[in-house]
Amino acid sequence: MTPRPESSGPFPEQPADRRHTEPPAPARKKTPAKKQPASAATEKPAARKTPAKKTAAASRSAPVAKTTVRKAAAEKATARKTAGRRQAGSAPAGTTPSGKTPADRAPAVEEAPGGTTAPAGPAVPGATPTGTGDAQRAPGGRKAAGTRGRGATRTTPGPSTPAASTDPVPEDAQRLAPPEAEIAVSPAVDAGDRERLLHGTHHAPHSVLGAHPVPGGIAFRAFRPYARAVTVVSGGMTVGLHDDGDGFFSGLLPLREVPAYRLRVAYEGTEVETEDAYRFLPTLGELDLHLIGEGRHEELWTVLGAHPTAHQGVSGTRFSVWAPNALGVRVAGSFNFWDGTGFPMRSLGSSGVWELFVPGIGEGELYKFEITRPDGSKTLRADPMARRTEVPPATSSVVTSSRYEWGDAEWLERRAEVPAHRAPLSVYEVHLPSWRPGLTYRQLAEQLPAYVKDLGFTHVELMPVAEHPFGGSWGYQVTGFYAPTARLGTPDDFRYLVDALHRAGIGVIMDWVPAHFPRDEWALAEFDGRPLYEHSDPLRAAHPDWGTLEFDFGRREVRNFLVANALYWCEEFHIDGLRVDAVASMLYLDYSREPSQWTPNEHGGRENLDAVAFLQEMNATVYRRVPGVVTIAEESTAWDGVTRATHHRGPSGFGGLGFGLKWNMGWMHDSLEYMSHEPVHRRYHHGEMTFSMVYAYSENYVLPISHDEVVHGKRSLVSKMPGDWWRRRADLRAYLGFMWAHPGKQLLFMGQEFAQGAEWSEAHGPDWWLLDPHYGAEADHRGVRDLVRDLNTVYRASPALWQYDTEPAGFRWVTGDAADDNVLAFLRYDADGSPLLAVSHFAPVVRHDYRIGVPDDVPAWHEALNTDAARYGGSDVTNPDTVKPEPQGWHGLPASIRLTLPPLATVWLRPA
């Protein structure tokens, strides 16, 4: 048998005893070789051949090193002789001894132009060392000659004698084909996988695309829509893959193991070299998937979403999304011209998570997930876990990572020293986009901390910062739960603002909205084609008041999404507190619903047991992981145990919800109702100012004058007061003095600190022009702001006003029944028993020598604050001298003092 020349095939340096030598197949008409794209190595001109019948496999042989016409003719003759000997020694026709392919169906040895021969099965046409020519397989993705079933055939080795070769020997020759007796398979993507990839319904694209060991070598497959050619580049080797049509490219290399490689992709007018996204292992580990499945991954934001990273030594971005009902998920973005066809993600087991590492892309890239729904339709969705978004009304997610270096370590260490309910807490509520319209996070950081610190507030409360598409919702209809709104800057810019507030000694509370989300078709609603984040029962999913959807708190993955979100803001942005919005709407199944619109729980009650469990889990997890943080409930009902520990059961049988504080909506409503009456009528509503003390210690309360009370026709705080401008301001000052002295923490919305007369509007924010010195009434507004500053100063310096806010020992009525005089008086005590006396007078008259009962262990009292002082815009009726008690008992106390009560004012007195 004539030995095969050593220079044959795409690897001329391969030893003859390690190569396949294939017997010829029955002759077939020659198919012209397809022209190789420009990205492949330059083809060498073929010498004129003697007439011979060729198989389809031969028509796909690769042109290799140039030889003479005489050598080509000699080698053809040798090949024919070799084939004759093999046919003579083959098994009878139609038999397959030992499973071998009959000789009459064996593939022919391919003959390359230039007189060399190349194996048709294991070797990929087009595989060449650097400097040699590439070749193409026959168009149309047809199977290689001699294939069987899905394109496999068994090859029969023949004797060979080493022959001299002058071709270069690349290092890649050391990873050559497996033993010759293996079955070679077609590298092309089969019809089923091809169909699923084209339609975006493939669950495991990595099992098809990329490089995979197969019988006969390593199969390379790429899916690159719109590409003209794809070439595998590995070391000194380049392999032009065959164009199988529809963007699929494939080839089979006679290698023993998958090499390190890159893809060179040629498009019309350009060529790029990149890593193959389908050669990487998953970026999520088994523990992550287990925790996600259990709904207990407390750092969910670190594994889902888009994260620039280095994976297996390659820089890129890992994408992952939870979409358990999807038939398929693809990534589309600015990096692929918003066509996700060539970027299918893989499904990671039963977790419902889809994942893809895309090499070569990083921060700033826009992206969305293209999801194939169960009905086969497609939807393009923003990332629920996106940590940065485009500026609305644009809706794309943005790849981001943080490089911010915090400077608030001292603040974080100190904030956990005293629980919030035992510390001074005076809150300034802010809507960032409208506080100073047009300012960015970093510009706000230059103004807001200084302003709040000057007024003496201990905290700011930011109306929802999370991304929301409609500015008119003030942030309460969230679509980007993990992204600070891009209207004001980047996530790191927001970190800079929080850091600046902390360095100024100001805590940051953030409104958080886990109750519901809007129906925008690019966001969470029916995210993967079926109810996912919302409840599957339409009656429970639809929020009756706001036209939004309620979360399915009974689904563990949804609870995980929300619990991790609470932790995310506290840990990643150093938020000091979360004010949870619309808690009442979560707790009751019949909230704003008619009897026929809700279904009782398993016990026949109206409590939403799933929401209760979620709130308990959220609070317990936040307090466990983030010391010093406080959670605050906006809850407007008499639900028992909102601020009780989750493991303490109350009369209702439920454990507490676990909040640190609760808004006292009852106090707010009753006290504003009282203040809205003319003073002459207030005697008939006196109980509205005293009733709050009946339940003051049932929860840990915050007294809120929030944004909700100064919009939608409710008028601003000063405009709620009756009478002329002087009386309105006086009533406002007296009310603020009463509020700061009442048990509970305080919250005041921006603009109310300087008696803005108009309602708040998110379009233009507070009326700062009222404080312009050139404005005629500027002193009136500045006087109210000066009062707020002094209220906070005295408040913070008086432990009696905050140390026992939540304990009855910290309060005693002096007189709560002086309805005819419109007078309220009470004592506040600190932990050492030191008192502060607060007297509020809500009548527009001066009362001289008004007797007030006091303890007999205080030798003298002095006026600490008087809201009628001239510097606040009042009539300056004060008690300038030290007041000494008389031994005459009054109001049930052993001593008394006589005061001059100014009109419509509150007076605070402390021991002299």
Residue 401's SS3 state is coil
* Pairing between β-strand 701-705 and β-strand 745-749 as defined by DSSP bridges: parallel
pLDDT of 264 > 80? The answer is yes
Q: How many Cβ atoms are within 10 Å of 257's Cβ, its own excluded?
A: 10
Residue 40 binned pLDDT confidence (cut-offs 50, 70, 90): very low
Which ranges of 18-63 would DSSP assign to H, the alpha helix? none
Task: Pick one of 2.60.40.1180, 2.160.20.10, 2.60.40.10, 3.40.718.10 as the CATH number of 808-911.
Answer: 2.60.40.1180
Residue 73: predicted pLDDT: 42
Tokens of 127: 């595989």
Spatial separation of the C-alpha atoms in residues 275 and 154, rounded to whole Å: 33
Phi/psi for 400 (5° steps) reads: -150, 160
Spatial separation of the C-alpha atoms in residues 296 and 767, rounded to whole Å: 46
Domain 287-326+337-398 and domain 409-663, same fold? Reply is no
Altogether, the residues listed in the chain come to a count of 912
Share the mean pLDDT of the chain: 85
Q: How many Cβ atoms are within 10 Å of 302's Cβ, its own excluded?
A: 14
pLDDT of 414 > 80? The answer is yes
Q: Check residue 52 and report its DSSP letter.
A: -
Q: Give yes or no: 365 in active site.
A: no
Q: What is the pLDDT of residues 104-146, one digit of tens each?
A: 333 333 333 333 333 333 344 344 443 333 333 333 333 333 3
Nearest to 352 by CA among 318, 385, 307, 304: 304
Better-scored residue on pLDDT, 333 or 98: 333
Tokens of 777: 């009434």
pLDDT of 640 > 70? The answer is yes
**Which residues, listed in sequence order, are joined to residue 273 by a DSSP beta bridge?**
264
CATH topology of domain 287-326+337-398: Immunoglobulin-like (2.60.40)
Residue 596 binned pLDDT confidence (cut-offs 50, 70, 90): confident
Residue type, 70: R
- From residue 72, alpha-carbon distances to 26, 78, 141, 708 in Å are 21, 10, 29, 91
pTM of the model: 0.81
Residue 130: predicted pLDDT: 38
Nearest to 3 by CA among 75, 58, 70, 62: 75
pLDDT of 590 > 70? The answer is yes
Residue 458 binned pLDDT confidence (cut-offs 50, 70, 90): very high
Residue 438 binned pLDDT confidence (cut-offs 50, 70, 90): very high
Q: Which long-range contacts (CB under 8 A, 24 or more apart) does 818-824 make?
A: 819/682, 819/683, 819/684, 819/686, 820/683, 821/847, 821/850, 822/679, 822/682, 822/683, 822/686, 823/847, 823/850, 823/901, 824/689, 824/690, 824/738
**Which is the catalytic residue, given 43, 365, 576, 581?**
581
Tokens of 453: 């610190």
Nearest to 809 by CA among 785, 842, 835: 835
Mean pLDDT of 436-460: 98
Residue 184: predicted pLDDT: 64
Better-scored residue on pLDDT, 821 or 11: 821
**Which residues, listed in sequence order, are joined to residue 218 by a DSSP beta bridge?**
213, 253
Residue 71: predicted pLDDT: 40
**Which is the catalytic residue, given 134, 276, 534, 634?**
634
pLDDT of 650 > 90? The answer is no
Residue 182: predicted pLDDT: 56
pLDDT of 710 > 50? The answer is yes
- Does the domain made of 409-663 have the CATH classification 3.20.20.80? yes
DSSP letter string over 754-813? GT--SPP-TTT-S-GGGG-TTSTTHHHHHHHHHHHHHHHHHHHH-GGGTTTTTSGGGEEE
Q: Identify whether the C-beta of residue 384 lies closer than 8 Å to the C-beta of residue 321.
A: yes
Better-scored residue on pLDDT, 754 or 55: 754
Q: What is the pLDDT of residues 60-92, one digit of tens each?
A: 333 333 333 344 444 444 444 444 433 433 333
Tokens of 563: 């619990």
Mean pLDDT of 333-337: 96
Spatial separation of the C-alpha atoms in residues 274 and 587, rounded to whole Å: 52
From the number of C-beta atoms within 10 Å of its C-beta (0-12, 13-18, 19+), residue 627 rates as: exposed
Mean pLDDT of 419-445: 97
Tokens of 447: 């103004």
Q: Give yes or no: 886 in active site.
A: no
pLDDT of 162 > 90? The answer is no
| Tokens 């091809």 sit on residue | 194
Residue 653 binned pLDDT confidence (cut-offs 50, 70, 90): confident
Handedness of CA 444, 447, 451, 454 (dihedral sign): positive
**Percent of the chain predicted with pLDDT > 90:** 77
What are the domain boundaries of the chain? 287-326+337-398, 409-663, 808-911
Spatial separation of the C-alpha atoms in residues 323 and 321, rounded to whole Å: 6
Residue 713's SS3 state is coil
What's the per-residue H, E or C state across 223-283?
A: ECCCCCEEEEEECCEEEECEEEECCEEEEEECCCCCCCCEEEEEECCEEEEECCHHHCCCC
Residue 393: predicted pLDDT: 96
Residue 183 binned pLDDT confidence (cut-offs 50, 70, 90): low
Residue 544: predicted pLDDT: 87
Q: What is the pLDDT of residues 778-817, one digit of tens each?
A: 999 999 999 999 999 999 999 999 999 999 999 999 999 9
Residue 230: predicted pLDDT: 98
> Which of 479-483, 602-606, 865-869 has the least mean pLDDT?
602-606
Mean pLDDT of 193-214: 97
Residue 16: predicted pLDDT: 37
E strands in 87-176 = 110-111, 117-118, 127-129, 153-154
Residue 649: predicted pLDDT: 86
Residue 75: predicted pLDDT: 43
| Tokens 């050391």 sit on residue | 174
Q: What is the pLDDT of residues 862-892, one digit of tens each?
A: 999 999 999 999 999 999 999 999 999 999 9
Residue type, 366: L
> Which of 184-193, 392-401, 479-488, 725-734 has the least mean pLDDT?
184-193
| Strand arrangement of the beta sheet that strand 229-234 belongs to | 127-129, 237-240, 229-234, 262-267, 270-274
Q: Identify whether the C-beta of residue 685 lies closer than 8 Å to the C-beta of residue 674.
A: yes
Better-scored residue on pLDDT, 297 or 91: 297
